[in-house]
Amino acid sequence: MKSGAQYLADELERLISLPLNTKEDLEHWYTERYALEKVLITKYPNFQYLHEVDHFFDDADIRREDSDYREWQHQRMLNYVACLRNETSTN
């Protein structure tokens, strides 16, 4: 079974890759986000992640409208993914 860090890293990359071009894309993004959170709560209840991830989870509507913010937030999450992957490779 994956660790919480591995699971979150994989899922953040997947969410980043999802389109946000239409209202339907946005709705799908949030559906996927809620599914991810449910897994984190049920399978990895003790895993604590960076607070910025909560902003990423909440801000898809802003990223849809603001490409600069999208690029900035995606880069922050990719940096965090790299940290998560580094963390799991040293354990």
Phi-psi region of 14 (alpha: psi -120 to 50; beta: other; left: phi over 0): alpha
Provide the sign of the torsion angle of the four alpha carbons 6, 12, 13, 18, taken in this order. positive
Question: Is 91 a residue whose pLDDT tops 60?
Answer: no
- Cα distance between residue 74 and residue 17, in whole Å: 10
Whether 52 has a pLDDT exceeding 90, the answer reads yes
Residue 6: the pLDDT is 97
- pLDDT bin (cut points 50, 70, 90) of residue 50 is very high
Condensed to tens digits (0 to 9), the pLDDT of residues 13-38 reads: 999 999 999 999 999 999 999 999 99
Structure tokens at 63: 């990223």
Domain boundaries, the chain: 4-90
Tokens representing 1 are: 């079974």
And the tokens for 84? 């998560």
CB of 6 closer than 8 Å to CB of 82: no
